[in-house]
């Protein structure tokens, strides 16, 4: 069964304290791994798509990496405005682009 597991469920950081979020997945034939950011009461905001192991993408303080079994979202020197829930999702093969979501990691960055 296709599955996505994110850890930790919640992460509290001090401003400037770098860390990583983990997304482990099992899917037969990965078509893409997606990272989204979701603020309370809002829809997910697209961050990155990764398609193959070894691929990396960066955006400001965020960097996403991908292996055959997991993806990491590295946050360098986070700021309070980076506080949000980060969602990981995989696209299953043979679908219409359906995404399988993990439960998310709630990140809190304190000043």
The CA–CA distances, whole Å, from 28 to 52, 65, 69, 74, 103 equal 13, 19, 11, 25, 20
- In the complex, the smallest distance separating the C-beta of residue 18 from another protein, rounded to whole angstroms, is 25
Tokens of residue 35, six digits: 């990272």
**Residue 86 in the binding site for another protein (CB under 8 A):** no
Which residues 40-79 are close enough to bind another protein by CB under 8 A?
Answer: 41-46, 49, 51
Of 1 and 14, the one with the shorter C-beta distance to another protein is 1
**Residue 98 in the binding site for another protein (CB under 8 A):** yes
CA distance 72 to 41: 25
CA distance 42 to 63: 23
Residues that bind another protein (CB under 8 A): 31-32, 34, 36, 41-46, 49, 51, 87, 96-99, 101-104
């Amino acid at each position: 069964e296709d599955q996505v597991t994110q850890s930790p469920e919640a992460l509290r950081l001090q401003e400037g304290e770098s860390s990583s979020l983990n997304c482990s997945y099992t899917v037969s034939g990965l078509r893409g791994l997606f990272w989204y950011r979701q603020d309370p009461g809002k829809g997910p905001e697209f961050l990155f798509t990764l398609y193959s192991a070894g691929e990396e993408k960066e955006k400001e303080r965020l960097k996403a990496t991908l292996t055959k079994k997991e993806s990491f979202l590295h946050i360098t020197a986070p700021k309070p405005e980076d506080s949000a829930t980060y969602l990981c999702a995989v696209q299953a093969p043979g679908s219409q682009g359906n995404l399988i979501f993990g439960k998310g990691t709630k990140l809190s960055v304190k000043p």
